[in-house]
Structure 1
């Protein structure tokens, strides 16, 4: 397993709001909570991440 790099928080997040960050891993993404970064992160494959992003963009969770 590779260590996540290039952690990013949404540009729509306010500086003091709790949010999630997304980092890159070899073939996918890592996600962690900004409130408790030391708690760790979970990873997804590239396919899983693309499916999730497509669902968000198509308002599937509304």
Structure 2
């Protein structure tokens, strides 16, 4: 079974256009979310983030809650 990686829509903008975050969705809503740096893919490190923490992070990004 292969993993489908999705590039963040926020990647590749700003001061570093080469910064690319990718994540892999799961069919299981409570499964950890794998995240990686696309510059080192597929051989670089992958970080597993708890589903709830990932959902909170995405919500904070969408509402601009992490702005300076």
- Decide: shared fold, TM above 0.5: yes
The structure 1 segments of at least 4 consecutive aligned residues displaced by more than 3 Å after TM superposition are 10-14
Structure with higher helix content: 1
Q: How many residues align?
A: 59
Name the one with the larger strand percent: 1
Which ranges in structure 1 are unaligned for 5 or more consecutive residues? none
Matched, 1:30 2:30: no
Q: What corresponds to 1:9 in structure 2?
A: 7
- How far residue 10 of structure 1 moved from its aligned partner, in angstroms, is 3.2
Deviation at 1:20, TM superposition (A): 1.1
| TM-score (norm. length: structure 1) | 0.70
**Residue 45 of structure 2 is aligned with which of 9, 24, 40?**
40
1:13 to partner: Cα distance: 5.3
Partner of 1:19: 20
- Is there any run of 5+ residues in structure 2 with no aligned partner, and where? none
